[in-house]
Amino acid sequence: MSPNARKNLIYSFVLLGMVLIVYLYRSSTGGGSSVDEVARKNGLITWNGEFMDQPYLFLYHPERANVKVKLDSLLNHQAQLYLMDSPRSELYQLNRQDSLPRPSKDLLALLRMVSQDSKNSESSWDPTAGILYDGWSFSSTRAGIKDSVNIAALLDNVGMPKFILSDTLIQKVKTGLKINLLDYGQTLTLAQVALFLEKQGIRNYFLQIGKYTLAKGVNERQELWKFKTQRPDSLGKAMDGWIALQNRAVASAGDFTQTYKQDSLRKAWVLDPRTGYPVNHGLLQTTVLAKTSKEAAILAQSLLVRGWQDAVRIDSARKDVEMILIYNEKGKGLRLYASPELKAMLSFPIE
C-alpha cells in the first residue's frame, strides 16, 4: 500500500471515529430519533472535515447565516501559518535553512510565544524534540536505541533557545534544528474558531480538531457538552467514559495501552526532550482540562514527561486546571487519579 493510500485509510478511520463520537454522545444524552428531533428543533449545526491532516468536528447552535463559508476561510488562513510541507510556508523554509531573513511579524510573534511556553514548562515540552524519536524504537517489551544512533548528537538539535530571534533575522545555532507546530497550531486554531463563533453571537459550541477539544455553553438539550475519554477497567483494558465540560478545553497525551515493562514498572512510549531518553516513571496517560486548548495541550504533554508525582503536586497547587492521570505505581499496578473537583463531572467513579 502506498503512503498516500495508507494516510487516506487512516484518516477515514479517524473521521469515522469522530462520527461515532457524535452518535455515542447523542445516545448518552437520551438516544433514538427523539434526540435528532431535538437537535433539529433547536438548530444544532454539525460541520466536519479535515484540517492540517487531522479531522475536525464543530457542533454549535443556534444557526447563523454564512458561517460555513467564513469558517472554511478561517481554517485555510490558519493552515498556512503552521503547515510545513509547502515551499511557500515560512516554517518550511526555516526547517530547511540555517537562517530566515526578513521573517514576517506573525512568525516572529509565534516563535516568541512558543519559546516562552517551552520555558514555562521547564523545557519538558519542546516542539523541536521530534528528531529524538528518529533514534528510538518502542515495542510492548522494550525501548531501544536504533543501530548507529548517537542520542547526544540528536539532542544537540533540540531546544527552542537554539533559535536566535530578531526583527530582521531568525538564526539557528544548529543546522539540524527543526520545529513542528502542527499540534500547537491546532490548539491556536480552536481558539480562533471559538472567537469567530462568539462574534457571530454563538455561545454554545463543541469544537474538536484532532486530539484537542474546546466547549462552551450547553448542547441542544440544554445539558453540558460531553467529551469521550478512555480509562482502564479492572483488567487494564480500555473502556469508554465521559467528562462533562463546563466551558473548558481538554487535551490528552500518551496512551496507557502502549507501554513496555522495565524494572518491574510499566512505562510510556515517551521521550524526555531534556535528556533524549525515555521517561523513567510510570505515568502513562494524561488528560488535562484548562481554560484554553493551548494550555491544556502543553500541560498534558509536559506532565507526561515530568511524571505522576509532579502532576499531582501541580494539580494541588493550581486551581485553574483539572486532570485525570493513568499511571503505574511499582508494587501497586495500574492506578487512576482525578482532580477532586473534577470527579462530579465524570461518568465513572474514581476513588
Binned at pLDDT 50, 70 and 90, residue 72 comes out as very high
> Is pLDDT of 60 > 80?
yes
Rounded average pLDDT over 344-348:
95
Phi/psi at 163 (5° precision): -95, 120
| Reported pTM | 0.86
Q: 22-31, 82-91, 103-112: lowest mean pLDDT where?
A: 22-31
Q: 84-88, 156-160, 292-296: lowest mean pLDDT where?
A: 84-88
Rounded average pLDDT over 170-174:
96
Same fold, 85-180 and 224-351: no
Residues 165 and 98: beta-carbon distance below 8 Å:
no
> Is pLDDT of 304 > 80?
yes
Q: Is 277 exposed, middle or buried (0-12, 13-18, 19+ CB in 10 A)?
A: middle
> Is pLDDT of 323 > 70?
yes
Q: Which of 285, 206, 311 is nearest to 248 (CA)?
A: 206
Q: What is the pLDDT of residues 215-269, one digit of tens each?
A: 999 999 999 999 999 999 888 889 999 999 999 999 999 999 999 999 889 999 9
Binned at pLDDT 50, 70 and 90, residue 49 comes out as very high
Q: Domain 85-180, what architecture?
A: Orthogonal Bundle (1.10)
For the ranges 14-18, 22-26, 298-302, the one whose mean pLDDT is highest: 298-302
Number of helices followed by number of strands (H, E) in the chain: 9, 17
CB within 8 A of 307, min separation 6: which ones? Answer: 279, 281, 282, 283
Q: For 224-351, give the CATH class.
A: alpha beta
> Is pLDDT of 10 > 60?
no
Rounded average pLDDT over 285-290:
98
- Across the chain, mean pLDDT equals 89
What does the domain layout of the chain look like in residue ranges?
1-82+181-217, 85-180, 224-351
Residues 133 and 271: beta-carbon distance below 8 Å:
yes
Q: Is 90 exposed, middle or buried (0-12, 13-18, 19+ CB in 10 A)?
A: buried
Binned at pLDDT 50, 70 and 90, residue 210 comes out as very high
Predicted pLDDT of residue 42: 59
> Is pLDDT of 88 > 90?
no
Q: What is the pLDDT of residues 113-126, one digit of tens each?
A: 999 999 999 999 99
Which of the two residues, 258 and 85, has the higher pLDDT score?
258
Predicted pLDDT of residue 83: 84
Rounded average pLDDT over 53-60:
95
